[in-house]
Structure 1
């Protein structure tokens, strides 16, 4: 027979209700925008598979790969956030798999931007050889190389984790929330991550910047199509902005730690929500919106799908 008094039962229920209410209040401001962003990215991915012109054009294939990686990264980030909001601690193997997939998709984005910049460079500076160099087969090979390179990096990180003495732990249950930084269990893993991140973004930045400069120089040539060069220059400038946004996600944790030192708990939670939405989620959705609005081929199909395939009546038409 239970010895709990009605007052103790009410206190327990009240604490459980407060805990559930706190989880909902903290997770809802992030989950709702993330669902909207995932919906937009999903519509964009569906749009890029809806027509043969998208499936048979190299730059649209590369764009699909970029959006796919961003969407996967957004979904995994949101999953880890919900796990932490619900105070669920994973085991080291489960967290390691999620962190590996998160890092993999995060690294595919800048490398894909680098390949997209090279494609625009060839289109402007070598227009007669563009159809020969930038083929569907070569584009597929480039995408496979990007994913293989990032997978190799993930494998190296797993090998570095083997140096950690897991056998000395009482259990494989983590004592903290799962994140990519939580899996840097040794100084060498942390140093390797910083070195690889620096190498990745320096290489991508140099490639995109050099492509942009080459296109600007080519635009001044009398033999270059001015309209095509101007459009390619704007596209490469957009790639630079996207690369900067991708780089900002790597500064999320250090920035959050530096700002939150002198804040109370409520302010820290609000700061975490703001930084997470602005630095992690929003950049992953901007690509779909920007390309969907800028590209005249994608725009009408994207709007058609966003409107749930409804055909709006023409202005001035009369119903029958």
Structure 2
């Protein structure tokens, strides 16, 4: 009887592991398929951004283009890091460190880009006569340079800690491409946590304040169809997108909740907390914006007609 029960237990464990593996492969297949669809949709939107005269001259479209490019870089580098850890393969440490730095930097730059987009909407509604004067292409370029500098500073500090603490031959090693491979001192986790927290609170504060200001204007105008009300809804979307972006930082919480599904955690983290927010934002803005909606329809219809004629 003992042998039979042990056999049943082992069979159940094997079946459980196989079920987890099947679920993991399904999630991975869905994510990769979504990645391909997103890449096509992104290519269409970027072609609009770079070929349309209005999109190349207006600040809000340039900021949106910047966000699309950054999200694309983040997804490509994160996909490589995910596959490198999912199927453990060792690479030169400098090569992996560059991927880790670019991935972490682009993740936070998206959040700051949302803050600048919210400020641009705030100026449009609250200072319409001075919008052209304040929101110039030169100032927009300076703003983008500032957020890049802000996000590179924590990585510079992390690099100094790594070079001062690690062995001199550390960057000559062959390592697995993951963030944990480059943690050699507890202060690095402190720097990372402080960077994530400051990003969330600063961007969240900007979004909340701009929303309040815009909605006050909307109430004064007293029209649901006013541009202020539309801008308020855009700010709400920015806030939702910020929360989705910040979900990438909640991996430790997910690890506690799904501790019984440890084999699925890397796929769940990559699919739902890294990829999903980036997949949603282009669709949301592309469908809501009249310029992109018309151009996307034009591109997709033309492509469909070409394929049907072939």
Which residue of 2 is the match for residue 58 of structure 1? 59
For residue 131 of structure 1, report the CA deviation from its aligned partner. 1.2
Q: Which residue, out of 272, 281, 292, partners 2:286? A: 292
Deviation per CA, 1:275-294, whole angstroms, max 9, x where unpaired?
Answer: 32111101011111001100
For residue 50 of structure 1, report the CA deviation from its aligned partner. 1.8
For residue 38 of structure 1, report the CA deviation from its aligned partner. 2.4
Which residue of 2 is the match for residue 244 of structure 1? 243
For residue 146 of structure 1, report the CA deviation from its aligned partner. 1.6
For residue 70 of structure 1, report the CA deviation from its aligned partner. 0.9
For residue 301 of structure 1, report the CA deviation from its aligned partner. 0.6
Deviation per CA, 1:114-170, whole angstroms, max 9, x where unpaired?
Answer: 100000001111111111111122112211222222223322221121122323769
Contact 2:125 2:227 in 1 (8 A): yes
* Separation in structure 1 between the aligned mates of residue 253 and residue 31 of structure 2, nearest angstrom: 19
What is the 5 A alignment of 1:179-194?
Answer: 179-194=178-193
* Separation in structure 1 between the aligned mates of residue 238 and residue 186 of structure 2, nearest angstrom: 33
Which residue of 1 is the match for residue 127 of structure 2? 126
* Separation in structure 1 between the aligned mates of residue 42 and residue 61 of structure 2, nearest angstrom: 14
Contact 1:102 1:180 in 2 (8 A): no
Contact 1:166 1:172 in 2 (8 A): no
* Separation in structure 2 between the aligned mates of residue 170 and residue 287 of structure 1, nearest angstrom: 37
For residue 181 of structure 1, report the CA deviation from its aligned partner. 4.2
Relative to 1, partners in 2 of residues 1:82 and 1:131: Cα closer, same or farther, differing over 3 Å? same
Is the partner of 1:269 in helix, strand or coil?
coil
Which residue of 1 is the match for residue 42 of structure 2? 41
For residue 182 of structure 1, report the CA deviation from its aligned partner. 3.6
In the alignment, structure 1 residue 195 sits paired with structure 2 residue 189: no
What is the number of equivalent residue pairs in this alignment? Answer: 284
Deviation per CA, 1:87-124, whole angstroms, max 9, x where unpaired?
Answer: 21223222211101101111110110010000000111
Contact 2:91 2:174 in 1 (8 A): yes
TM-score, structure 2 length as denominator? 0.84
Structure ranking higher in helix proportion: 2
* Separation in structure 2 between the aligned mates of residue 226 and residue 28 of structure 1, nearest angstrom: 42
* Separation in structure 2 between the aligned mates of residue 40 and residue 151 of structure 1, nearest angstrom: 29
* Separation in structure 2 between the aligned mates of residue 120 and residue 141 of structure 1, nearest angstrom: 18
* Separation in structure 2 between the aligned mates of residue 213 and residue 231 of structure 1, nearest angstrom: 13
Relative to 1, partners in 2 of residues 1:57 and 1:77: Cα closer, same or farther, differing over 3 Å? same
TM-score, structure 1 length as denominator? 0.81
CA RMSD of aligned residues (A): 2.6
Which residue of 1 is the match for residue 255 of structure 2? 257
* Separation in structure 2 between the aligned mates of residue 102 and residue 59 of structure 1, nearest angstrom: 24
| Larger mean Cα displacement after TM superposition, 219-228 or 144-153 | 219-228
Which residue of 2 is the match for residue 272 of structure 1? 266
Deviation per CA, 1:200-226, whole angstroms, max 9, x where unpaired?
Answer: 110000000000001011112249996
Relative to 1, partners in 2 of residues 1:169 and 1:131: Cα closer, same or farther, differing over 3 Å? closer
